[in-house]
């Protein structure tokens, strides 16, 4: 801990020191027009995030077409484990990417490479540990995640196989940030895109051609993830910023600890999402059984809607991730005008996407839900109502994740972590526990937009205040 504190002090002193920046001359992050840079980094990031969403949606579509509502409910029950994988990828990957770009902005090239090497070890190690835990505690985990009895078999069949892909999934997602930080956003995009294409091709082949059901969907998923993970490993052997040697892969607390500190905001945001989803699954199961819908319909609909909303959210997160290396480098180089410009452009683009998504969710909910297989009229009616209410404040949903990522990017993880927790833990979690007591299953739906509004308002206040005082 003493060594970690010393490293934090060094980073703070370097960032606060007066005089001219130690920015590397000619580095495009500090010289190329901000708008052009944001397009270069954000578009591949968006594609990568869409690909990540596509993994789950493709499985959901084919499972829904072959198995139906129970299969859709099973993938929703299993989804918290995917969220944990994303959380670890962000903790180790995005944290190290921010630390790397901040160090490069200060001209500390050798130190920057240690962040990358340590992150690669943590990404693989975290995946192996999570795989082992899942295999040992599979049955109690599925029950804890809210699986009804008639869904449990499908959920276990799916997760028993997909858990073997966790090391590669975490490496692919977290490694994409390391590749992007090195100035290769297109290769980062290709890592995820290749795996998704493989998954999309193999899903119908295994599910319908070989009649493998949930097992086929799971196998298609992990094959794609393995290929993506191998592509990341290949890139790390040819890192542009410098050659990664054995010493860079030896875990050191001063580098791993500082990176994880910067990644905590995004990590806690994902863990918060997982906690909320577990509580929500159990609430949907409990209050659904006491409504006309039953246990399976609310679980199936909520799972589909969460994954559909993640498609639009992928645009917002992709823009935020594209903004990260630009904001980090220029903040480290004390080019504050460029930092302010990139957050303004990012926020404008994210808001535009959110407005379009809001219109689609309000106007075409039944058409969207129909893509995931047929269902009863009761099933479709619940899904349509869930879309209208739960996603009502979609048009401001980019403010909170964008602000949280921004604070992480400029080396202020405490603020980023707090903002990451606002929607999920501080507001949504209490509301989905309290509201249904008085309103039944409708209370779960109304908790969403209230949490969205409050989180966006607080995040906007934090962000505006930071921009006002930056460089003063």
Q: What is the predicted pLDDT for the residue at 452?
A: 95
CA distance 82 to 278: 12
Q: What is the pLDDT of residue 12?
A: 45
Nearest to 445 by CA among 317, 312, 288, 310: 288
How many angstroms separate the CA atoms of 123 and 135, rounded?
Answer: 19
The pLDDT of residue 92: 96
Q: How far apart are CA 184 and CA 176, in angstroms?
A: 9
Tell me how far apart the alpha carbons of residues 94 and 260 are, in angstroms, rounded to a whole number: 9
Token digits of residue 400: 């909170």
DSSP 242: S
Cβ within 8 Å of residue 416, ≥6 positions away: 264, 265, 266, 403, 404, 405, 406, 407, 408
Question: What does the chain come to in residues?
Answer: 472
Name the residue among 118, 129, 119, 113 with its Cα closest to residue 92.
119
Residue pair 467/313 in contact (Cβ under 8 Å)? The answer is: no
- Residue 313's alpha-carbon distances to 46, 78, 287, 372, 396, in angstroms, are 9, 20, 28, 19, 11
| Other beta carbons within 10 Å of 337 | 11
Q: What's the rounded Cα separation, in Å, for the pair 220 and 165?
A: 10
The tens place of each residue's pLDDT in the chain, 472 residues long, gives 444 444 444 444 444 443 334 444 557 888 889 999 999 888 888 887 787 777 667 777 888 777 777 887 888 888 899 889 999 999 999 899 989 988 988 888 889 999 999 999 999 999 999 999 999 999 999 999 988 888 899 999 999 999 999 999 999 999 989 998 898 988 988 888 898 889 889 999 999 988 898 999 999 999 999 999 999 999 999 999 889 999 999 999 999 999 998 888 778 878 888 898 899 899 998 999 999 998 888 988 888 888 788 888 888 988 998 898 899 889 888 899 999 999 999 999 999 999 999 999 999 998 888 888 777 888 889 999 999 999 999 999 999 999 998 998 888 888 988 998 898 889 999 999 999 999 999 999 999 999 999 999 999 999 999 999 886 6
Reported pTM: 0.73
pLDDT for 26 equals 59
H-helix or E-strand spanning residue 343 = helix 336-363
- Residue 73 pLDDT: 83
Alpha carbons 349 and 42: distance in angstroms, whole number: 10
């Amino acid at each position: 801990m003493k060594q970690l504190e010393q490293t934090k002090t060094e980073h703070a002193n370097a960032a606060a020191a007066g005089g001219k920046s130690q920015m590397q001359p000619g580095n495009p992050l500090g010289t190329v027009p901000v708008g052009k840079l944001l397009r270069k980094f954000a578009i591949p990031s968006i594609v990568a995030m869409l690909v990540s969403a596509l993994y789950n949606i493709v499985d959901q579509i084919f499972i829904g077409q072959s198995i139906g509502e129970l299969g859709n409910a099973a993938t929703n029950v299993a989804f918290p484990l995917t969220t944990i994988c994303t959380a670890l990828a962000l903790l180790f990957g995005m944290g190290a990417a921010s630390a790397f770009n901040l160090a490069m902005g200060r001209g500390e090239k050798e130190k920057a490479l240690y962040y990358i090497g340590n992150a690669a070890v943590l990404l693989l190690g975290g995946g192996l540990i999570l795989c082992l835990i899942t295999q040992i505690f599979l049955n109690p985990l599925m029950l804890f995640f809210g699986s009804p009895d008639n869904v449990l078999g499908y959920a276990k069949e799916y997760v028993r196989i997909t858990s073997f892909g966790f090391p590669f999934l975490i490496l692919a997602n977290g490694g994409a940030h390391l590749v992007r930080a090195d100035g290769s956003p297109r290769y980062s995009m290709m890592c995820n895109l290749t795996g998704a294409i493989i998954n999309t091709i193999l899903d119908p082949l295994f599910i319908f051609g070989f009649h493998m059901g949930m097992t086929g969907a799971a196998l298609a998923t992990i094959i794609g993830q393995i290929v993506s993970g191998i592509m990341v490993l290949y890139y790390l052997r040819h890192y542009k910023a410098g050659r990664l040697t054995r010493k860079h892969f030896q875990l050191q607390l001063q580098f791993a600890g500082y990176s994880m500190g910067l990644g905590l905001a995004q990590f806690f945001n994902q863990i918060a999402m997982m906690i909320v989803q577990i509580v929500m699954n159990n609430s949907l199961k409990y209050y659904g059984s006491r409504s006309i819908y039953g246990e399976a319909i609310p679980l199936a609909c909520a799972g589909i809607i969460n994954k559909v909303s993640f498609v639009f959210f992928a645009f917002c997160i992709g823009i935020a991730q594209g903004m990260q290396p630009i904001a980090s480098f220029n903040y480290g180089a004390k080019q504050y005008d460029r930092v302010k410009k990139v957050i303004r452009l990012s926020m404008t683009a994210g808001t535009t996407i959110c407005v379009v998504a809001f219109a689609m969710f309000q106007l075409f909910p039944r058409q969207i839900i129909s893509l995931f297989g047929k269902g009863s009229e009761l099933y479709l009616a619940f899904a349509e109502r869930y879309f209208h209410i739960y996603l009502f404040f979609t048009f401001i949903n980019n403010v909170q994740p964008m602000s949280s990522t921004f604070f992480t990017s400029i080396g202020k993880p405490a603020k980023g972590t707090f903002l990451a927790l606002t929607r999920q833990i501080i507001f949504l979690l209490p509301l989905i526990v309290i509201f249904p007591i008085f309103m039944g299953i409708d209370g779960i739906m109304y908790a969403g937009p209230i949490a969205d509004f409050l989180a966006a308002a607080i995040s906007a206040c934090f962000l505006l205040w930071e921009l006002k005082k930056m460089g003063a």
